Structure 1
Amino acid sequence: MDVSAINSTASSNTTSTKNAADTQDRFLKLLVAQMNNQDPLNPMDNAQVTSQMAQIQQVTSLSTLDTSIKNLGLQLGQMQAMQSISLVGREVSVPGNQIQVVNGVAGASYELDGAAKTVKLEILGPAGNVIDTQQLGAQGSGRQTFTWNANNLVPEGTEVKYRITALNGTAAVSSTTYAHDKVSSVYSDSGNLMLELERLGPVNYASVSSVN
Structure 2
Amino acid sequence: MAVIATPTSTNAVSQSLMDSMNKKAGAGNEISAEQDKFMTLLITQLKNQDPLNPLDNAQVTSQLAQLNTVTGVNKLNDTLESLKTDLAASQSAQAVNMINHGVLAAGKTMQVTEGKGIFGIEVGSFADNVQLEIKNGSGKVVHTMTLSSVEPGVLPLAWDGKLQDGSTAPDGNYTLSLAATTGGKALTDAQALTFGTVASVSTGPTGAKLNVPGLGQLSMDDIKQVL
Partner of 1:12: none
Cα contact 1:16–1:67 (8 A) shared by 2: no
| TM-score, scaled to structure 1 | 0.80
State the distance in 2 between where 1:113 and 1:205 align: 20
Match of 1:126 among 122, 126, 137: 137
Shift of 1:139: 2.5
1:159 aligned to 2:173?
Answer: yes
CA 1:130–1:106 in 2, change beyond 3 Å: closer, same or farther?
same
Structure 1 consecutive aligned stretches of length 4 or more whose deviation exceeds 6 Å:
none
Kindly tell me the number of residue pairs found equivalent between the two proteins: 197
2:170 pairs with 1:186: no
Give the TM-score taking structure 2 as reference length. Answer: 0.75
* Structure 2 counterpart of 1:59, from 70, 74, 77: 70
* Distance 1:190-1:17 versus aligned 2 partners, 3 A rule: closer
- Contact 2:135–2:174 (8 Å) recurs in 1: yes
Aligned pairs for 1:34-113 within 5 A = 34-35=45-46, 38-113=49-124
Aligned amino acid, residue 210 of structure 2: L
In percent, how many aligned pairs have the same letter? 29
Q: 1:140 to 1:72 in 2, by over 3 A?
A: closer
Structure 1 stretch displaced more, 17-26 or 161-170: 17-26
Assess if the C-alpha contact under 8 Å between 1:23 and 1:60 holds in 2. no
Equivalent residue, structure 2, for 1:141: 152
Q: Distance in 1 between matches of 2:153 and 2:220?
A: 22
Distance 1:68 1:139, change over 3 A: closer
Matched residue of 1:109: which SS? strand
How many angstroms apart in 1 are the aligned matches of 2:30 and 2:138? 63
8 Å CA contact 2:127–2:150 kept in 1: the answer is: yes
For structure 1, the 5+ residue unaligned runs are: 1-14
Letter of the aligned partner of 1:206 in structure 2? D
Equivalent-residue separation in structure 2 for 1:36 and 1:29 (angstroms): 11
* Residues 163-212 of structure 1: per-residue CA shift (max 9 Å, x gap): 11111122112302211211110012443311111332221222112211
Alpha-carbon distance, 1:129 to partner: 4.2
User: Match of 1:168, as an amino acid?
Assistant: T
- In the alignment, does 2:221 pair up with 1:209? no
The RMSD of aligned alpha carbons is 2.4
TM-superposed deviation, 1:43: 0.2
Write out aligned runs for 1:164-175 (5 A): 164-173=178-187, 174-175=189-190
Check the 8 A contact 2:88/2:207 in 1, yes or no: no
